[in-house]
Amino acid sequence: MNVVDFTLLVAANTVSTAGSSVFLIAILLWLRSATDNAVVLGALQFAALLPAALLAPVGGTLADRLPRTVVLSVVDAARGVLLVAAGVALLVGLRATVAFVLASAVLVGLGSALFQPAVLALIPDVVPAGTLSRANGIRATATQAANVGGTALGGVLAALMGIGGIFVINGASFLIAAALEAAITAPDRPDSTDFTDSGGRTGPGVSGGFPDLLEGLRFLRNDGPSQRALFAYASLVILLPPVVLAVPFAVGSARSEVWVGAILATLLAGGVAGFLLHGTALRPPALRGEIAWGYGSMVASLLLFTGAAATGVAALFLPAALAGGAAVGWTYVASVGLLQRRSPPEVRSRVLAVGETVTGVVTPFMYLAAGFLLEAMRGAMPVLFLATAVLLLIALALLLR
């Protein structure tokens, strides 16, 4: 393992993630305070995620054609400069509006569309194949730890510094990350050799004539295990928006910034637990076993959420969030690790970008629909959680066929 490069990559990812987590929880709480409307909160996620999802295939292509470290550092530097400038404008008197905040979320999301395929594809370039699963777990754990800390501190920092200060903090985190990424000495670009998919078809790599955005799909179309891994993670992510969006409303009279931050931070901490558990000897040897473990944990989490919402005891949301986060973390590491191992280096970014696109295109609409659903179900949150558990069991049955 190239310890220096991997450490720089993880450090950059951790710093920018912490800043983004502070930013997202702060604007979520700001929008809730300004509107008290679940539809607006759903619109926030929609605005942040959909443009990024539509750009994800382009991000994958750029990460395969250009030096991946350049993609990472330029994207983070651009986001940093724009957010710091916006934060300074807010601090000196520009009035924050819902439209301004949503536009800022779009900016952060667009950068993520370019960033995510590049960082996932870069990890195998700086670590040996035998340590890939461990490296993914380390990065994911550091990312989730940053998410936990940022989410827990976001509300407090917003109260102390205001929304303008939060913009500056997030922008500064991206600038620090850009400097760290620029210091990585990984190979300038992936090999441009041909690859053969699992169906026996040989095609060009980045130097070939097939449309760039179709190469990832072509590989996945002929690789059954990769399809199953992608479906497993995508189904879990797509069904989660109503649950996440319900948290600020489901805790009832205890709906304070402290409780909301604590519950969401616990959800992220559960993700860390899932990453760590996946790296132990407890991991089943086959993908189907890994999927069953992850989905079973998520169903148990939703049953706990149902009980917490039915009784109105806010503290009961904490174990529910912990179990749910562990389920998502476990399934993420299992799915991404398999896609990284099976996809050829010269198209790996585009294969991973397909997953980002699938989850990214559907998830924003799920958040938007969840906003309207929550407005209509303010008094029936237990039904929402229970229905999601049933849908997950149906998805699990399809995966295990």
Rg (CA), the chain: 20
Mean pLDDT of 234-260: 73
Average pLDDT of every residue of the chain: 79
38-65 vs 348-376: helix crossing angle, rounded to 10: 180
Q: What is the pTM of this model?
A: 0.65
pLDDT in tens, 189-236: 544 444 444 444 444 443 333 355 577 778 888 888 888 888 888 887
| SS3 at position 196 | strand
H helix runs in 36-131, sequence order: 38-65, 68-91, 98-126
| Cα 16 to Cα 172: distance, rounded to the nearest angstrom | 9
Share of the chain above pLDDT 70, in %: 86
pLDDT in tens, 276-333: 777 665 555 576 788 888 888 899 999 999 998 888 787 888 999 999 989 888 888 8
Q: How are the residues of the chain apportioned to helix, strand and coil, as percentages rounded to the nearest 5?
A: 85, 0, 15
Domains, the chain, in order of start with CATH, read 3-184+211-399 (1.20.1250.20)
pLDDT at residue 398, as a whole number: 85
- Whether the pLDDT of residue 394 is over 80: the answer is yes
pLDDT at residue 211, as a whole number: 52
pLDDT at residue 188, as a whole number: 52
- Whether the pLDDT of residue 369 is over 70: the answer is yes
Nearest CA to 337 out of 187, 135, 125, 144 is that of 135
pLDDT at residue 202, as a whole number: 44
Confidence of residue 56 (pLDDT cuts 50, 70, 90): low
pLDDT at residue 191, as a whole number: 46
CA atoms within 13 A on the CB side of 318: 7
Lowest mean pLDDT among 161-170, 176-185, 234-243: 234-243
